[in-house]
Amino acid sequence: MVEDFEQDDFDMLDQSVKQVLIALSQFEKGLLVKVDLLHRKTGLMPEGLNDAVRHLSKSKFIDILETPKKMGPYEFYAVEITDLGREVLAKFG
């Protein structure tokens, strides 16, 4: 819940994590964003994008589409920002 998250927690997020969260927030709710589009929106290289997505998923800020399909060097195919991710960004971003 957003009540369990504080400004200091947001400030400590890596810049690439914030960058991915901000990029995902620009898409309408319920839209799955494929890795190639997320890569273009953020400009992050595969390692940085994989790390950011992994961190955001563990924090429950995004959901990763469960599929065996992967896109090249990326560890995922598509993601969706959660309501929690949107709330944290709206409150602290």
Where are the chain's structural domains? 2-92
Are the C-beta atoms of 12 and 40 separated by less than 8 Å?
no
pLDDT in tens, 3-55: 777 888 888 889 999 999 999 999 999 999 999 999 999 999 999 999 999 99
Coil/strand/helix, residue 82:
coil
CATH number of 2-92: 1.10.10.10
Question: What is the model's pLDDT at position 87?
Answer: 94
Question: What is the model's pLDDT at position 84?
Answer: 95
pLDDT in tens, 84-93: 999 999 998 8
Instruction: Please name the residues in contact with 36: beta carbons below 8 A apart, sequence gap of 6 or more.
Output: 71
